[in-house]
Structure 1
Amino acid sequence: MNSRERILASINHKEPDRIPIDLGSTTSSGISGIAYKRLKKYLSIDKGHTRIYDVVQQQAQPEEEILDRFNIDVINIGRAFGTEDKDWYEIKLSNGDIVEFPTWFKPVLEEGGRYNAYSEDGTLIATMPEGATYYDQVYYPYIEGYPEDYTNIEQAMKKVSWFAFPANPWMYANEPDFWENLRKKALELQQNSDRALVIECGCSLLESGNYLRRMDNFLMDIYTEPDEVERLLDVLVERHLSMLEKVCKAVGDVADIVRFCDDLGTDLAPLMAPEIYRKIFKPRLTMMCDYVKKHSKMHILMHSCGSIYKLIPDLIEAGIEIFNPIQTTANEMDIVRLKKEFGKDITFWGGGCNTRSILNRATPEEVKDYVKRQIEIMAPGGGFVFNQEHNIMPDVPPENIIAMYDAVQEFSY
């Protein structure tokens, strides 16, 4: 099997020749720039570039040598954009490492070591304090209340850090030939690599409301102002469907996976009662999933952190086929239970190694033992793509990263 066949077999619940592996195909399955730089140094790789393609989370784009070293089976279409040296410039991370940022992202270093990031009109929308490794959103366009109409929602979105500073390819979306280029570059990746292809489309509903209104307000609004919430969600769905129409037309026959994102859980439980999710959010998610399935061959991956056990049946009914990151540290997210109850209906893209206390704190041998157990539970019958639980963070030692991927090779056949 080649990599693409391996990924697709597992999604179709067939056991491939070995477990398919991901590193960096999405912004929730990658590696921080600090950890990546340290990994390259440990492997004595002194060539190439450490390029931060996800500037909000400070994540590096894995290079071909790393992808080959760990037998990675899937990549993001966005890596075909911003490929020239002129598209990047050097900057220092919080630990002193020199990496490269995309030229369109120019945060301002303030007195005291804080970096501030501004929107096109000069509004401060994100900040990263000295020593931090992540940009925090600080501006919420609708914090004072919902607008009478949403004529200017695009302007509001441009003041949300996640939308103002997106990962590739979306920073190029306003270029007149973007959609033609997207198809052209995706086809080139497909022809020049046997890895499966992912395109990230977001399509968030709850998260978009949180970003616009601020999380505390929006969660209360769901109960106190449901009409306003639904009015906003309808506008968001219209916006998302317009984008999905273009994506399906451009790469719906080329990309293998489209990734949606909506964090629905805390460590303890879903962010709302399941009956509320079914009433307000599920029908709108279903509309988007139906559109993708009708107009493309892409499989739908949903990223959602936290305890989402109670929502999984509804997400499956809505049309989600793949879940990431499988946060096993959250309540009710025991993988034995998840595999038993949902293993025939969904693919688990993650859950391979706990990033909260194992990958960052255990010994390499303990990491290998942990990964072996996860594989023994998740791999039978297919429906499993190996990935750690969310991104590899800056505190993860390179020895543990290598131990994790070596364990997959050792125990996946």
Structure 2
Amino acid sequence: MSRVHWGALGRSPWNHVSEKGFWEELRNNTIKLRENTDRAIMIVVGGNLFEWGTFLRRMDNFLMDLLLEPNKVERFLDALMERHLTMLENVCDAVGDIVDIICFGDDLGMDTGPFMKPETYQKLFKPRHTILCNYVHKHSNMHTFLHSCGSVYRLIPDLIEAGFEVLNPVQTNSRDMEPARLKKEFGKDIAFWGGGADTRSILNKATPKKVKDHVRQNIETLAPGGGFVFNTVHNIMPDVPPENIVAMFEAIDEYR
């Protein structure tokens, strides 16, 4: 970790926020959007912790750092938190009373499970995720949304305790991420924004009829009692036949 180029922390997607008038313009545009839609409004801020480590150190190095250099990882994360909290302060002041959902991102899982043991998440990342979520809840009306790909089943109890209210993309084609299991164990405590259609093995390969059946089954599993926003499992890729996309939307309309 001693060889990390800390200057890289200065290059974030929010660099332009220091430009004169940025936050005022953001607020004015958000007010106009609110006046013209009854849909939920989301702002995407990132707030990545684990992923920034993989960006700067490379995935293999950072995974070893988590176990071999936890103290240095914590110092690194604290430097990130200074930036993230400054960003959150500006976002909450500008649009926290207008926007409905704030989206954080941190891909914590792979197909077979989390990138780390729950104990590692609890020590290094959960306290900091808690600080971010608490700040949002204290200083705005926004709900906290986490985008985290892969199998995060073993981390979901901690994500809920940290203060995340929405989980996306609900990668149901990963280990332990079966819709029925997730709904039964966590459906009362977190909303699922995703899991509606498998884009990796169903939407791109199945017949339109099978796509419809698949979508209906997932909706019937995840929707009862609320806490479900239909979304595909991540992006619809170029290999998906157009007729399967139509079938997916037809299944949604038929359910409604």
Q: TM-score, normalised by structure 1?
A: 0.60
Question: How many Å separate the matches in 2 of 1:145 and 1:310?
Answer: 32
Amino acid at match of 1:339: K
Higher helix share: 2
Deviation at 1:154, TM superposition (A): 3.8
Structure-2 separation of matches of 1:218 and 1:154:
16
* SS of aligned partner of 2:244: helix
Aligned 8 A contact 1:146 1:228 in 2:
no
User: Does structure 1 conserve the Cα–Cα contact (< 8 Å) formed by 2:196 and 2:230?
Assistant: yes
The residue type equivalent to 1:182 in the other structure is: L
Is the radius of gyration larger for structure 1 or structure 2? 1
Q: Displacement, 1:171?
A: 7.5
Among candidates 92, 107, 112, match of residue 248 of structure 1: 92
**Structure 2 gaps, min length 5:** none
Amino acid in the other structure paired with 1:183 = R
Q: 1:145 and 2:3 equivalent?
A: yes
* AA matched with 2:214: Y
5+ long unaligned stretches in structure 1 = 1-141
Question: How much does 1:254 deviate?
Answer: 0.6
Correspondences of 1:203-282 after superposition (within 5 Å) = 203-282=47-126
AA of the residue aligned to 2:123: K
The answer to whether the 8 A contact 2:31-2:98 is kept is yes
- Deviation (angstroms), 1:194: 1.4
Residue 347 of structure 1 is matched in structure 2 by: 191
Once the two structures are TM-superposed, the CA of residue 391 in structure 1 deviates from its matched residue by 0.8
Q: Tell me the residue number matched to 1:362.
A: 206
Instruction: Give CA-to-partner distance per residue, 1:357-393, whole Å, 9 cap, x none.
Output: 1111111111111000001101100000000000111
Q: Deviations over 1:58-102 (max 9, x none)?
A: xxxxxxxxxxxxxxxxxxxxxxxxxxxxxxxxxxxxxxxxxxxxx
How many residues get paired?
256
Distance 1:197 1:382 in 2: 19
> 3-state DSSP class of the match of 1:173?
helix
Matches within 5 A, 1:88-107: none
Q: Which amino acid aligns with 1:247?
A: V
Partner SS state of residue 192, structure 2: strand
Identity over aligned pairs, percent = 59
Aligned residue type for 1:178: F
Residue of structure 2 equivalent to 1:8? none
Q: Which residue of structure 1 lines up, in the alignment, with residue 178 of structure 2?
A: 334
Does residue 401 (structure 1) correspond to residue 245 (structure 2)? The answer is: yes
- Say if 2:43 and 2:103, in contact at 8 Å, map to a contact too: yes
